[in-house]
Amino acid sequence: MARPFRILFVGDVYGKPGRRVLSAHLPALRPAYDFIIVNGENAAGGFGLNRESFDAITRAGADCITLGNHAWHHKEVYGLLDDARLVRPLNLPLGTPGSGYSTFEVQGERVTVVNLLGRVFMEAVSNPFLAMDELLERPDLGAVFVDFHAEATSEKAALAHHLAGRVAAVIGTHTHVPTADTRILSGGTAFQTDAGFTGPLDSIIGADPEGPLQRFLTERPHRFTVRDGPAELNAVAVELVSGRAVRAERYHYEEEKRT
């Protein structure tokens, strides 16, 4: 029997602490995986991706970078979208720069990475369910790995159910908190509602607690800043055999807190 094809998917890299823990820790993981995907939608200062953060993530070992609702925050991202390693959300209008999926050939395996946006509690975009149906009519996609960047657990579970047996994995991102529901759906589709993020510990999904907390307490806007200090890395490891997921598990790493 063939050796499984091992994919590591790293959740939203957030700001400098996220880039630091990725750069420090991903190289050690690199040899254990055939293909590494990193969501970079918060890599530059907590919002979007610029060239510096793109370079940091690829240098750390990522084969592919996905995005999310913050994709367009830094104008520099437009200059990066020609790079086939960068995947922007799929379900956007015709004519959107870049591509919503990218197909890679790795050690004789064909893998297509898709970045997809949810709509529940988020800005209106094209229908993600129908966008996937349309995409899956293309030939030669190989094993399809879907980063579903969405807020609502219902929408994520529904998409996973819709794609069960048709794609290799549906892994959620955007909430920045990993969910403890990693599993293989019937037909060989790995599913986890959210991968969690890669960013500062003791933060409010990446931000220094002061900003969000003042906002909730005062009911007035407050400026958010990236939380300084040690960071965590959250990921999901998926193993494929013949393009089907046979194993999926969470990976978690934390930098040590200084005393």
252 is in an annotated binding site: no
Alpha carbon 31 to its chain's center:
20
70 classed as catalytic: yes
- Of 109 and 210, nearer to its own copies (C-beta) is 210
Select the binding partner of residue 158 from Fe ion, its own copies, none (C-beta < 5 to 8 A, by kind).
Answer: its own copies
Q: Return the residues of window 150-189 that contact its own copies according to CB under 8 A.
A: 151-155, 157-159, 161-162, 175-181
Alpha-carbon distance of 255 to 20, in angstroms, equals 10
68 touches Fe ion by CB under 5 A: yes
**Number of alpha carbons in the 13 Å side-chain half-sphere of residue 61:** 21
The stretch among 4-12, 24-32, 193-201, 239-247 that binds its own copies (CB under 8 A) is 193-201
Q: Does 126 bind Fe ion (CB under 5 A)?
A: no
Q: Is 244 in the site for Fe ion (CB under 5 A)?
A: no
**Among Fe ion, its own copies, none, what does residue 140 contact (CB within 5–8 Å per kind)?**
none
**Candidate ranges 38-46, 122-130, 160-168, 217-225; the one touching Fe ion (CB under 5 A):** 38-46
d(CA 173, CA 171): 7
CA 90 to chain centre: 13
Considering only residues 93 to 152 of the shown chain, the ones binding its own copies according to CB under 8 A are 93, 95-96, 119-121, 123-127, 129-130, 151-152
Could you tell me whether strands 231-241 and 5-10 are parallel, antiparallel, or unpaired per DSSP bridges? antiparallel
CA angle 243, 60, 20 (to 5 degrees): 125
Residues 6+ apart with CB under 8 A from 69: 41, 89, 117, 122, 123, 149, 174
Give me the least distance between CB of 31 and its own copies, in Å please. Answer: 25
In the region spanning residues 219 to 238, those forming contacts with Fe ion, defined by CB under 5 A, are none
Is residue 200 a contact partner of residue 17, using CB atoms and an 8 Å limit?
Answer: yes
Which residues are 110's β-sheet partners? 105
Distance between CA atoms of residues 227 and 35, nearest Å: 30
172 binds Fe ion (CB under 5 A): no
Query: Binding residue per annotation — 69?
Result: yes
Pick the catalytic residue from 70, 73, 74, 161: 70
Total residues contacting its own copies (rule CB under 8 A)?
A: 53
Q: Are 57 and 40 in contact (CB under 8 A)?
A: yes
User: Residues within the annotated binding site for Fe cation?
Assistant: 12, 41-42, 69, 149, 174, 176
Q: Which residues bind Fe ion (CB under 5 A)?
A: 12, 41-42, 68-69, 174
